[in-house]
C-alpha cells in the first residue's frame, strides 16, 4: 500500500468536518475521491499534506507513519499535492514555477531531466517558459500546476478538482495525460465531482458525504451503485 489513511478525524478549530475516514492508494493506481461540495474532499488531501493535522487516526506512506511530518518534507518522500484552483505563482514565469516544483535536493539534481520529460507531456509549456504564470489561461495554469507537481518526482500525485472550469477539449487532453502519468508508475489520487467522468478514469473510488465515507470500491461497481446515485442526486 502506497498511501494508507486510517480512521482520521479532522477539525477546523473545534468544528469537526471529517469523521472516521479511511482511504488507501496502491502503487501504480488511479483513485478518485468523490463527493458533493463541502463534503470534505479537499480537507482529506490537505490532511495528507499536513496543511491541517488530523485529530485522530493514522496516515502511512510506504508503510511509514507520517502524521507528524511537516508539510514541506512531504515532497521529498514522494507526495506531490496540486492544490484546488491551481495556485500557480502568478508573478513568476512558467519556468520559475516549474523549477520551484523541484525544490528538494534529489529533485533539484534531476531538474533538467524532469524538465525534458515534462515538456514532452506538456509541449505548450516549453513554448511559454518565460511567460508570467498569471497571463496564462485557466487550462494552461492547470497544466502548469500539475507539471510543477511532477517536477518533485512523486510516487503519489494528489490533484484537487483538476477538471474544474476546463473546456471539453482540454479535459480530454488532461485525461490522456493522467493515463500517461500512471503508466509511468506514478499513482494518482484525484478529487472530482463528476462521478461518471471520475469513475471512467479511476480503478477505484471513495465517496464522501458530509465528512463521512459512505461507500468505496472498484469503479465498475460504484458506477451503477444506488448509494452513489443517492449521494449525488439526493434520491
**Contact residues for Mg ion (CB under 5 A)?**
42, 84
User: Grid coordinates in use for 97?
Assistant: 514555477
Nearer to ligand ADP, 11 or 175 (CB): 11
Nearer to another protein, 103 or 119 (CB): 103
User: Grid coordinates in use for 36?
Assistant: 458533493
**148 and 100 Cβ atoms separated by less than 8 Å:** yes
Contacts of 54 (CB under 8 A, 6+ apart): 8, 9, 10, 18, 47, 67
DSSP 70-82: -GGGHHHHTEEEE
User: Grid coordinates in use for 71?
Assistant: 508539510
Q: What DSSP element (H or E) covers 70?
A: none
Binding flag, residue 37, ligand ADP (CB under 6 A): yes
Binding flag, residue 50, ligand ADP (CB under 6 A): no
37 binds, among another protein, ligand ADP, Mg ion, none (CB under 5 to 8 A by kind): ligand ADP
Contacts of 30 (CB under 8 A, 6+ apart): 178, 182, 187, 188, 190, 201, 202, 203
Distance of closest approach, residue 194 Cβ to ligand ADP, in angstroms = 13
Binding flag, residue 78, another protein (CB under 8 A): no
155 binds, among Mg ion, another protein, ligand ADP, none (CB under 5 to 8 A by kind): none
DSSP 8-state code for residue 151:
T
54 binds, among ligand ADP, another protein, Mg ion, none (CB under 5 to 8 A by kind): none
As a residue count, the chain comes to 235
Which of 31, 32, 43, 48 forms a contact with ligand ADP (CB under 6 A)?
43
**188 and 182 Cβ atoms separated by less than 8 Å:** yes
CA 35 to centroid of chain Cα atoms: 15
Distance of closest approach, residue 10 Cβ to ligand ADP, in angstroms = 8
Contact pattern for another protein over residues 137 through 156, marking x by CB under 8 A:
-----------x---x----
17 binds, among ligand ADP, another protein, Mg ion, none (CB under 5 to 8 A by kind): ligand ADP
Distance of closest approach, residue 40 Cβ to another protein, in angstroms = 18
State the residues that interact with another protein by CB under 8 A: 49, 51, 70-76, 80-81, 83, 87-92, 96, 99-101, 103-104, 107, 148, 152
Amino acid at each position: 500500500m502506497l498511501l494508507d489513511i486510517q480512521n482520521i478525524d479532522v477539525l477546523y478549530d473545534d468544528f469537526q468536518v471529517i469523521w472516521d475516514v479511511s482511504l488507501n492508494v496502491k502503487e501504480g493506481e488511479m483513485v478518485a475521491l468523490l463527493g458533493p461540495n463541502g463534503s470534505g474532499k479537499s480537507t482529506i488531501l490537505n490532511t495528507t499534506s499536513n496543511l491541517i493535522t488530523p485529530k485522530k487516526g493514522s496516515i502511512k506512506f510506504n508503510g511509514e507513519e507520517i502524521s507528524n511530518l511537516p508539510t514541506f518534507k512531504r515532497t521529498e518522500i514522494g507526495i506531490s499535492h496540486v492544490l484546488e484552483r491551481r495556485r500557480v505563482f502568478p508573478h513568476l514565469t512558467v519556468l520559475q514555477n516549474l523549477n520551484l516544483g523541484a525544490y528538494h535536493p534529489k529533485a533539484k539534481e534531476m531538474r533538467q531531466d524532469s524538465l525534458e520529460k515534462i515538456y514532452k507531456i506538456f509541449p505548450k509549456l516549453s513554448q511559454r517558459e518565460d511567460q508570467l504564470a498569471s497571463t496564462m489561461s485557466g487550462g494552461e495554469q492547470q497544466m502548469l500546476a500539475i507539471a510543477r507537481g511532477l517536477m518533485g518526482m512523486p510516487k503519489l500525485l494528489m490533484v484537487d478538482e483538476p477538471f474544474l472550469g476546463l473546456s471539453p477539449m482540454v479535459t480530454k487532453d488532461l485525461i490522456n495525460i493522467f493515463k500517461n502519468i500512471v503508466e509511468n508508475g506514478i499513482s494518482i489520487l484525484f478529487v472530482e465531482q463528476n462521478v461518471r467522468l471520475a469513475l471512467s478514469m479511476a480503478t477505484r473510488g471513495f465517496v464522501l458525504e458530509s465528512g463521512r465515507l459512505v461507500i468505496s470500491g472498484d469503479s465498475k461497481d460504484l458506477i451503477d451503485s444506488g448509494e452513489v446515485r443517492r449521494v449525488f442526486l439526493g434520491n
